[in-house]
């Protein structure tokens, strides 16, 4: 099983959107028995809350399910549970690096989501909580998630 964790600041906008989109793509490829997906935030402000209204609206519009998802904070155990930890922006990467022991990250791939897109139009996924642009965030997340899934399928020789 390949375990993928998406990370943003509060785990209510970008990372749950990425979790839902990536899970949707995994289901379309018939790989749910081979890839596990989750999301977390670097901060604990929204723990236990569902995805933000704008994220829910965008996912509902696209018939992408998000039921049962609630915000949680990134924890030390995630570095032994997950093979891939995918932050949304540079600040998330800095927060991960400064908050967790270096040795706990051994063997875990920590790469920003947009790093999977060749020549991306953005290096960071903008936070729609502040920008209000959930459509643009979705476009970036969908493109990068598609490429991340392709990368994982190839690297782990997975077939649906």
Question: pLDDT tens, 10-57?
Answer: 999 999 999 999 999 999 999 999 999 999 999 999 999 999 999 999
Higher pLDDT, 105 or 23: 23
Q: Which among 38, 89, 95, 127 is annotated as catalytic?
A: 127
pLDDT at 100: 80
Residue 160: the pLDDT is: 62
Res. 104: pLDDT tops 90: no
Sheet holding 35-41, edge to edge: 35-41, 2-8, 84-87, 109-110
- From the list 8, 13, 72, 78, the catalytic residue is 8
The model's pTM is 0.96
Reported as type and span, the H/E element at residue 57 is helix 53-61
Residue 14 catalytic? Answer: yes
Do the Cβ atoms of 112 and 123 come closer than 8 Å?
Answer: yes
Catalytic residue at 13? no
Catalytic-role residue among 13, 14, 56, 72: 14
**pLDDT score of 103 more than 80:** no
| Domain range 2-155, CATH architecture | 3-Layer(aba) Sandwich (3.40)
Q: Is 133 a catalytic residue?
A: no
């Amino acid at each position: 099983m390949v375990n993928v964790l998406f990370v943003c600041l509060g785990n209510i906008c970008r990372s749950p959107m990425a979790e839902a989109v990536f899970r949707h793509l995994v289901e379309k490829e018939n790989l749910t028995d081979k890839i596990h997906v989750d999301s977390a935030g670097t901060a604990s402000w929204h723990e236990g809350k569902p995805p933000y209204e704008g994220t829910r609206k965008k996912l509902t519009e696209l018939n992408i399910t998000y039921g049962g998802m609630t915000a949680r904070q990134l924890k030390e155990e995630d570095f032994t549970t997950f093979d891939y930890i995918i932050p949304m922006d540079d600040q998330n990467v800095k927060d991960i690096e400064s908050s967790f022991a270096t040795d706990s990250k051994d063997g875990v791939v920590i790469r920003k989501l947009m790093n999977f897109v060749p020549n991306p139009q953005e290096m960071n996924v903008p936070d729609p909580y502040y920008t209000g642009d959930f459509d643009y965030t979705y476009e970036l997340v969908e493109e990068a998630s598609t490429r991340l899934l392709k990368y994982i399928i190839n690297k782990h020789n997975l077939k649906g």
